[in-house]
Amino acid sequence: MAYRDFQHFLDVLHAKGELKRISEPVSPYLEITEIADRVMKKHGPALLFENPVGAGQRHGTPNPKSAVMGFPSIHPAARPGSTQSYRMPVAINTMGSRKRMSMALSSEDFEEHRERIAALLKPEVPKGAKAALQLLPRLLELQAVPPKDAKRAICQEIVMMGDEVDLTQLPVLTCWPEDGGPYVTLPLVFTHDPETGKRNVGMYRVQVHDKNTCGMHWQMHKTGMRHMEAAGAKGKRIEVAVVLGGDPVHAFAAISPLPPGIDEMMFAGFLRRERVDLIPCKTIDVKVPAEAEIVIEGYVDPSERRLEGPFGDHTGYYSLAEDFPVLHVTAVTMREKPVYPATIVGQPPMEDGWMGKAVERIFLPMIQLTVPEIVDMNLPVEATFHNLAFVSIKKKYPGHAYKVMNAIWGLGGLAFTKFVFIFDEDTNVQDFGEVWFRIGANCDPGRDTLHTRGPVDQLDHASVTEGFGGKIGFDCTHKWPGENGFSRDYPKLITMAPDVVQKIDQLWPKLGL
């Protein structure tokens, strides 16, 4: 089931008992984070803060649109102490469990999408008319992929341009005590390649500097940065739309490691089995989802930088303040009664853990297309995903584990993985106990490691230098005769005789154990 919009998704969560409404006045300055963090750590429900409050500290003359929109102009970074309300609810932790992440992707379980992708990547030539008819539903699914132009747009029921723009009216979260300011934490950032016109939708944090400028956190490895650099080479500004809300599948598409040439809105259409409706922005030549809650339109001058940060990041540490591009806002559009979508990041587990786990499972077939010997993969939430990988393989020859390590370090976002552990195919890499047993049993650190260097996450504060650091791989497979200097007989893993296992399985219910 595709969702009409973000509020439709919230209604479904509420109907399923997955959403907790909070009527108590709570401030976007730290307080929402503290509540959400406690709930996330306990794997609790989605939260809808119905009465986010500011401190009554106003910026100059009240915005004339405020009366129409129903909320005052309040500085979002001001500390709590007033009952003045933004009257725009804040929704958070909406994808913070396997069930809700699956619901966000319009599925009973998000593994369904892995199976759909695997089927598309391994097409079979139909043998006869019956087999061809069986393929028809799969082909018809692809008709829902390309986005289409919308006839109406709820995201433009209210339009503010020029002096009417005031981002301080939004309940933007200041998440952690030493953050450089309030941050838009669940943005879909739309840009176009100045050379090809190809759209990119990424999720890059956006710091609100003041009522009409923001910090755009485009890291050195990100597509948004590539687009801005291409615009700068032409001596042009780049137009940017920051979208909040819409079908939650859009957010997943924005964080997905898609192959080059695959449009995020096309992928969203594939996941939701229904085409995405797009509408042109009011002040820039960018199309955005028509059912969004809020759209921030503007431009970035590639030559301009401003201090951005610090920010309490997904690493569990504050990323340091640095100069980043500046977004100049030309318009803000929204629906008449919007809900502000947000998330927080910090020491795991957090909501983003389930978003990352869905990426891991759904994109496994694409990884296997390039590295077919991979059986399974686990990117632990506790290691913030990109830092560590447990990988099982069908080992075919001596040194095979090293081949897979190097392949992983050459694959898109997996290139940032600092620690790679390779296991035999009979290892359940989703079971931490089994993983640690195999590491201790099968890996000699003096023989079975591979150390190298390469690109790492720009936010990795432990690396040798920004964006570049060390990586290490561990061969935790059973060693073959002569492999890497191993000259002894390798022992067998202790297992029970299959016939005994079968007999005891049948007897077990009678034992009362």
Is pLDDT at 318 greater than 50 in this prediction?
Answer: yes
Q: What is the pLDDT of residue 71?
A: 36
Alpha carbons 19 and 60: distance in angstroms, whole number: 37
Angle CA 298–303–305, to nearest 5: 75
Query: Which domains are seen in the chain, by residue range?
Result: 101-341 (2.30.110.10), 371-485 (3.40.1670.10)
480-513, pLDDT tens digit by residue?
Answer: 988 888 888 888 999 999 999 999 999 999 999 9
Question: What amino acid positions are annotated as catalytic residues?
Answer: 313
Exposed, middle or buried by CB within 10 Å (0-12, 13-18, 19+), for 347?
A: middle
Packed helices 351-362 and 111-121: angle between N→C axes, nearest 10 degrees = 30
Alpha carbons 438 and 458: distance in angstroms, whole number: 32
**CA nearest neighbour of 452 among 467, 438, 470, 476:** 470
Q: What pTM did the predictor assign?
A: 0.86
- How large is the C-alpha radius of gyration of the chain? 25
420 SS3 class? strand
**CA nearest neighbour of 332 among 169, 151, 152, 150:** 169
Q: What's the N-to-C CA distance of the chain in angstroms?
A: 43
Q: 243 near 295, Cβ under 8 Å?
A: yes
Q: 364 near 401, Cβ under 8 Å?
A: no
143-191, pLDDT tens digit by residue?
Answer: 668 899 998 999 999 999 999 999 999 999 999 999 999 999 999 999 9
The owner of tokens 């790679």 is 420
Alpha carbons 208 and 78: distance in angstroms, whole number: 13
Q: Which amino acid, one-letter code, is at 281?
A: C
Q: What is the pLDDT of residue 450?
A: 96
Angle CA 218–221–223, to nearest 5: 65
Q: Which two tokens stand for residue 114?
A: 């892995």
Q: What is the pLDDT of residue 75?
A: 41
13-62, pLDDT tens digit by residue?
Answer: 999 999 999 999 999 999 999 999 999 999 999 999 999 997 533 333 33
Q: 429 near 417, Cβ under 8 Å?
A: no
